[in-house]
A and B are shown apart, each in its own frame.
Chain A
Amino acid sequence: MDPQQKAKQEAYQKLVKEHSPKPNAWKHVMWAFLIGGAICVLGQLMLDIFTKLERTETEAAAATLAAMIFLGAVATGLGFYDDLAEIGGAGTAVPITGFANTVVAAAMEFRREGIILGMGSKMFVIAGPVLVFGILSGFIVTLIRALLTGLF
Protein backbone atom coordinates (compact mmCIF):
# COMPACT_ATOMS: atom_id res chain seq x y z
CA MET A 1 0.00 0.00 0.00
CA ASP A 2 1.36 3.42 -0.80
CA PRO A 3 2.43 5.44 2.25
CA GLN A 4 0.04 8.30 1.57
CA GLN A 5 -3.01 6.00 1.59
CA LYS A 6 -1.69 4.28 4.69
CA ALA A 7 -1.34 7.58 6.54
CA LYS A 8 -4.87 8.53 5.47
CA GLN A 9 -6.24 5.22 6.76
CA GLU A 10 -4.44 5.56 10.07
CA ALA A 11 -5.64 9.12 10.54
CA TYR A 12 -9.25 8.11 9.85
CA GLN A 13 -9.10 5.09 12.14
CA LYS A 14 -7.82 7.34 14.89
CA LEU A 15 -10.64 9.80 14.21
CA VAL A 16 -13.26 7.02 14.38
CA LYS A 17 -11.80 5.76 17.63
CA GLU A 18 -11.99 9.23 19.15
CA HIS A 19 -15.62 9.62 18.13
CA SER A 20 -16.89 6.15 18.92
CA PRO A 21 -19.62 6.16 21.54
CA LYS A 22 -18.25 4.99 24.85
CA PRO A 23 -20.50 2.24 26.17
CA ASN A 24 -22.08 3.24 29.43
CA ALA A 25 -19.74 0.89 31.22
CA TRP A 26 -21.13 0.96 34.74
CA LYS A 27 -24.70 0.60 33.60
CA HIS A 28 -23.82 -2.41 31.41
CA VAL A 29 -21.77 -4.03 34.14
CA MET A 30 -24.43 -3.41 36.77
CA TRP A 31 -27.15 -5.03 34.66
CA ALA A 32 -24.89 -7.99 33.82
CA PHE A 33 -24.21 -8.36 37.54
CA LEU A 34 -27.86 -8.15 38.56
CA ILE A 35 -29.27 -10.45 35.89
CA GLY A 36 -26.38 -12.94 36.01
CA GLY A 37 -26.64 -12.97 39.81
CA ALA A 38 -30.40 -13.44 39.69
CA ILE A 39 -30.08 -16.44 37.35
CA CYS A 40 -27.55 -17.97 39.78
CA VAL A 41 -29.97 -17.42 42.67
CA LEU A 42 -32.61 -19.27 40.69
CA GLY A 43 -30.02 -22.04 40.18
CA GLN A 44 -29.32 -22.09 43.91
CA LEU A 45 -33.02 -22.48 44.61
CA MET A 46 -33.17 -25.46 42.24
CA LEU A 47 -30.01 -26.90 43.80
CA ASP A 48 -31.56 -26.75 47.27
CA ILE A 49 -34.76 -28.39 46.09
CA PHE A 50 -32.93 -31.15 44.24
CA THR A 51 -30.53 -31.72 47.17
CA LYS A 52 -33.57 -32.71 49.23
CA LEU A 53 -34.92 -34.98 46.48
CA GLU A 54 -31.79 -36.64 45.12
CA ARG A 55 -29.39 -39.02 46.80
CA THR A 56 -26.01 -37.44 46.06
CA GLU A 57 -24.65 -33.94 45.53
CA THR A 58 -23.58 -34.83 41.99
CA GLU A 59 -27.08 -35.94 41.11
CA ALA A 60 -28.55 -32.79 42.60
CA ALA A 61 -26.11 -30.65 40.60
CA ALA A 62 -26.94 -32.58 37.43
CA ALA A 63 -30.69 -32.17 37.95
CA THR A 64 -30.17 -28.44 38.56
CA LEU A 65 -28.27 -28.02 35.31
CA ALA A 66 -30.96 -29.90 33.38
CA ALA A 67 -33.68 -27.74 34.91
CA MET A 68 -31.81 -24.52 34.14
CA ILE A 69 -31.21 -25.65 30.56
CA PHE A 70 -34.90 -26.40 30.27
CA LEU A 71 -35.77 -22.89 31.49
CA GLY A 72 -33.26 -21.28 29.11
CA ALA A 73 -34.64 -23.32 26.23
CA VAL A 74 -38.26 -22.42 26.96
CA ALA A 75 -37.44 -18.72 27.38
CA THR A 76 -35.70 -18.84 23.99
CA GLY A 77 -38.64 -20.62 22.36
CA LEU A 78 -41.01 -17.98 23.68
CA GLY A 79 -38.81 -15.29 22.10
CA PHE A 80 -38.05 -13.79 25.49
CA TYR A 81 -34.38 -14.63 26.13
CA ASP A 82 -32.90 -12.36 23.45
CA ASP A 83 -34.92 -9.42 24.82
CA LEU A 84 -33.54 -10.13 28.28
CA ALA A 85 -30.03 -10.25 26.75
CA GLU A 86 -30.51 -6.76 25.31
CA ILE A 87 -30.53 -5.57 28.95
CA GLY A 88 -28.44 -8.20 30.70
CA GLY A 89 -25.65 -8.68 28.15
CA ALA A 90 -23.09 -11.09 29.56
CA GLY A 91 -25.43 -11.67 32.52
CA THR A 92 -27.60 -13.76 30.19
CA ALA A 93 -24.80 -15.22 28.04
CA VAL A 94 -22.51 -16.59 30.75
CA PRO A 95 -24.96 -18.71 32.81
CA ILE A 96 -25.84 -22.20 31.57
CA THR A 97 -29.22 -20.82 30.42
CA GLY A 98 -27.20 -18.85 27.86
CA PHE A 99 -25.60 -22.07 26.64
CA ALA A 100 -29.08 -23.52 26.20
CA ASN A 101 -30.08 -20.34 24.38
CA THR A 102 -27.24 -20.67 21.85
CA VAL A 103 -28.26 -24.24 21.02
CA VAL A 104 -32.00 -23.57 20.86
CA ALA A 105 -31.69 -20.27 18.95
CA ALA A 106 -29.51 -21.96 16.31
CA ALA A 107 -31.89 -24.94 16.09
CA MET A 108 -34.90 -22.63 15.59
CA GLU A 109 -33.07 -20.47 13.09
CA PHE A 110 -31.80 -23.21 10.79
CA ARG A 111 -34.83 -25.49 11.10
CA ARG A 112 -36.07 -23.87 7.86
CA GLU A 113 -33.19 -25.38 5.90
CA GLY A 114 -34.39 -28.84 6.91
CA ILE A 115 -34.28 -31.09 9.97
CA ILE A 116 -30.98 -32.78 9.12
CA LEU A 117 -28.95 -30.31 7.05
CA GLY A 118 -30.39 -27.27 8.79
CA MET A 119 -31.27 -27.92 12.41
CA GLY A 120 -29.06 -30.97 12.84
CA SER A 121 -25.89 -29.60 11.34
CA LYS A 122 -26.13 -26.06 12.66
CA MET A 123 -27.47 -26.61 16.18
CA PHE A 124 -23.99 -26.19 17.69
CA VAL A 125 -22.89 -23.38 15.41
CA ILE A 126 -22.46 -21.03 18.40
CA ALA A 127 -22.08 -23.55 21.25
CA GLY A 128 -19.57 -25.69 19.31
CA PRO A 129 -16.46 -23.70 20.27
CA VAL A 130 -17.38 -24.01 23.97
CA LEU A 131 -17.53 -27.79 23.65
CA VAL A 132 -14.38 -28.03 21.53
CA PHE A 133 -12.20 -25.87 23.74
CA GLY A 134 -13.74 -27.16 26.96
CA ILE A 135 -12.82 -30.70 25.92
CA LEU A 136 -9.34 -29.76 24.66
CA SER A 137 -8.43 -27.80 27.78
CA GLY A 138 -9.97 -30.46 30.04
CA PHE A 139 -7.96 -33.11 28.22
CA ILE A 140 -4.70 -31.25 28.62
CA VAL A 141 -5.07 -30.35 32.31
CA THR A 142 -6.28 -33.83 33.20
CA LEU A 143 -3.40 -35.41 31.29
CA ILE A 144 -0.90 -33.20 33.11
CA ARG A 145 -2.50 -33.86 36.47
CA ALA A 146 -2.61 -37.60 35.86
CA LEU A 147 1.06 -37.65 34.86
CA LEU A 148 2.15 -35.54 37.83
CA THR A 149 0.17 -37.50 40.41
CA GLY A 150 1.12 -40.86 38.91
CA LEU A 151 -2.39 -41.99 38.03
CA PHE A 152 -1.19 -43.89 34.96
Chain B
Amino acid sequence: MQYLIAFLVGGTICALAQLVLDHTKLAPPHVLVGLTVLGAILSGFGIYEPFVKFAGAGALIPVCGFGNAIATGMLQEVKRLGWEGLFTGAFEITGLGVTAAVVFGSVIALVSKPKD
Protein backbone atom coordinates (compact mmCIF):
# COMPACT_ATOMS: atom_id res chain seq x y z
CA MET B 1 0.00 0.00 0.00
CA GLN B 2 2.77 2.41 0.99
CA TYR B 3 4.38 1.69 -2.39
CA LEU B 4 1.20 2.60 -4.26
CA ILE B 5 0.86 5.87 -2.34
CA ALA B 6 4.53 6.73 -2.96
CA PHE B 7 4.04 6.02 -6.66
CA LEU B 8 0.87 8.07 -6.97
CA VAL B 9 2.05 11.05 -4.91
CA GLY B 10 5.57 11.20 -6.38
CA GLY B 11 4.23 10.66 -9.87
CA THR B 12 1.63 13.40 -9.45
CA ILE B 13 4.21 15.96 -8.32
CA CYS B 14 6.33 15.13 -11.39
CA ALA B 15 3.30 15.25 -13.69
CA LEU B 16 2.31 18.69 -12.38
CA ALA B 17 5.87 19.92 -12.93
CA GLN B 18 5.73 18.61 -16.51
CA LEU B 19 2.44 20.44 -17.10
CA VAL B 20 4.05 23.69 -15.95
CA LEU B 21 7.08 23.09 -18.21
CA ASP B 22 4.93 22.37 -21.25
CA HIS B 23 2.48 25.21 -20.83
CA THR B 24 4.61 28.10 -19.60
CA LYS B 25 7.87 29.68 -20.66
CA LEU B 26 9.54 28.46 -17.47
CA ALA B 27 12.72 26.38 -17.80
CA PRO B 28 13.50 23.33 -15.62
CA PRO B 29 15.62 25.33 -13.11
CA HIS B 30 12.65 27.64 -12.46
CA VAL B 31 10.38 24.70 -11.72
CA LEU B 32 12.93 23.02 -9.45
CA VAL B 33 13.44 26.24 -7.49
CA GLY B 34 9.66 26.73 -7.25
CA LEU B 35 9.14 23.23 -5.85
CA THR B 36 11.98 23.62 -3.35
CA VAL B 37 10.58 26.92 -2.08
CA LEU B 38 7.11 25.38 -1.88
CA GLY B 39 8.49 22.50 0.18
CA ALA B 40 10.21 24.91 2.59
CA ILE B 41 7.08 27.02 3.01
CA LEU B 42 4.80 24.02 3.60
CA SER B 43 7.36 22.77 6.09
CA GLY B 44 7.29 26.11 7.90
CA PHE B 45 3.52 25.83 8.27
CA GLY B 46 3.94 22.32 9.67
CA ILE B 47 2.13 20.74 6.72
CA TYR B 48 4.99 18.84 5.11
CA GLU B 49 5.71 16.52 8.03
CA PRO B 50 2.27 14.89 8.05
CA PHE B 51 2.55 14.72 4.25
CA VAL B 52 5.79 12.69 4.59
CA LYS B 53 4.11 10.42 7.15
CA PHE B 54 1.34 9.80 4.62
CA ALA B 55 3.29 9.52 1.37
CA GLY B 56 6.71 8.31 2.54
CA ALA B 57 9.22 8.36 -0.32
CA GLY B 58 6.57 10.00 -2.52
CA ALA B 59 7.09 13.15 -0.43
CA LEU B 60 10.78 12.70 0.45
CA ILE B 61 12.25 11.99 -2.98
CA PRO B 62 10.85 14.91 -5.06
CA VAL B 63 12.88 18.10 -4.75
CA CYS B 64 10.22 19.74 -2.53
CA GLY B 65 11.41 17.23 0.08
CA PHE B 66 14.76 19.01 -0.13
CA GLY B 67 13.15 22.36 0.73
CA ASN B 68 11.34 20.65 3.60
CA ALA B 69 14.62 19.20 4.87
CA ILE B 70 16.23 22.66 4.90
CA ALA B 71 13.38 24.24 6.87
CA THR B 72 13.04 21.26 9.23
CA GLY B 73 16.76 21.33 9.99
CA MET B 74 16.60 25.03 10.73
CA LEU B 75 13.67 24.61 13.09
CA GLN B 76 15.44 21.77 14.95
CA GLU B 77 18.51 23.90 15.39
CA VAL B 78 16.52 26.96 16.46
CA LYS B 79 14.88 24.85 19.17
CA ARG B 80 18.33 23.66 20.28
CA LEU B 81 20.41 26.83 19.96
CA GLY B 82 18.08 29.80 19.58
CA TRP B 83 18.56 32.32 16.76
CA GLU B 84 21.95 30.86 15.79
CA GLY B 85 20.04 27.85 14.55
CA LEU B 86 18.77 29.93 11.61
CA PHE B 87 22.36 29.97 10.37
CA THR B 88 23.48 26.46 11.32
CA GLY B 89 20.35 24.54 10.38
CA ALA B 90 20.21 24.65 6.58
CA PHE B 91 22.62 21.75 6.16
CA GLU B 92 21.64 19.88 9.32
CA ILE B 93 19.70 17.31 7.30
CA THR B 94 20.54 18.26 3.71
CA GLY B 95 24.30 18.31 4.36
CA LEU B 96 24.28 14.62 3.68
CA GLY B 97 22.66 15.03 0.26
CA VAL B 98 24.90 17.90 -0.75
CA THR B 99 28.02 16.08 0.42
CA ALA B 100 26.95 12.89 -1.33
CA ALA B 101 26.38 14.79 -4.57
CA VAL B 102 29.77 16.52 -4.32
CA VAL B 103 31.67 13.32 -3.50
CA PHE B 104 29.98 11.09 -6.08
CA GLY B 105 30.03 13.90 -8.64
CA SER B 106 33.76 14.46 -8.25
CA VAL B 107 34.63 10.78 -8.43
CA ILE B 108 32.48 10.26 -11.51
CA ALA B 109 33.79 13.39 -13.23
CA LEU B 110 37.29 11.99 -12.85
CA VAL B 111 36.48 8.66 -14.46
CA SER B 112 33.68 9.38 -16.93
CA LYS B 113 33.27 11.69 -19.92
CA PRO B 114 30.09 13.21 -21.38
CA LYS B 115 28.81 11.24 -24.35
CA ASP B 116 26.61 12.33 -27.24
A and B touch in the complex (CB under 8 A): yes
Name A residues whose Cβ lies closer than 8 Å to a Cβ of B: 23, 25, 28-48, 58, 61-62, 64-66, 68-70, 73-74, 76-79, 88-91, 93-100, 103-109, 111, 119, 123, 126-127, 129-131, 133-135, 137-146, 151-152
Contacts of A39 in B (CB 8 A): 10, 61
- A119/B67 contact (C-beta < 8 A), A47-B57, A68-B61, A103-B102 known: no
Interface of A (DSSP majority class)? helix
22 pairs from A and B in contact (CB 8 Å cutoff): A29-B18, A33-B14, A37-B11, A37-B14, A40-B6, A42-B57, A64-B57, A77-B112, A79-B115, A95-B10, A95-B14, A95-B63, A99-B66, A103-B101, A108-B113, A111-B109, A134-B36, A134-B37, A134-B70, A134-B90, A135-B90, A138-B90
Complex Cα distance, B108 from A31, in Å, reads 28
Shortest 7 CB-CB distances between A and B: which pairs? A36-B14, A141-B44, A40-B10, A37-B11, A43-B57, A32-B18, A73-B104
Q: How would residues 19 to 34 of chain B score, 1 for a CB under 8 Å from any chain A CB and 0 otherwise?
A: 1011100001101110
Complex Cα distance, B32 from A127, in Å, reads 9
Contact B101 A77 (CB under 8 A): no
Within the complex, what minimum Cβ distance (angstroms) separates A89 from chain B?
5
Q: How would residues 51 to 73 of chain B score, 1 for a CB under 8 Å from any chain A CB and 0 otherwise?
A: 00000111011110111001101
| Most chain B CB within a 10 A radius of its CB, from A69, A97, A129 | A69
- A40/B17 contact (C-beta < 8 A), A62-B93, A130-B33, A141-B41 known: no
- The size bracket of the interface on B is 35 or more
Q: Which of A31, A64, A90 contacts B31 (CB 8 A)?
A: A90
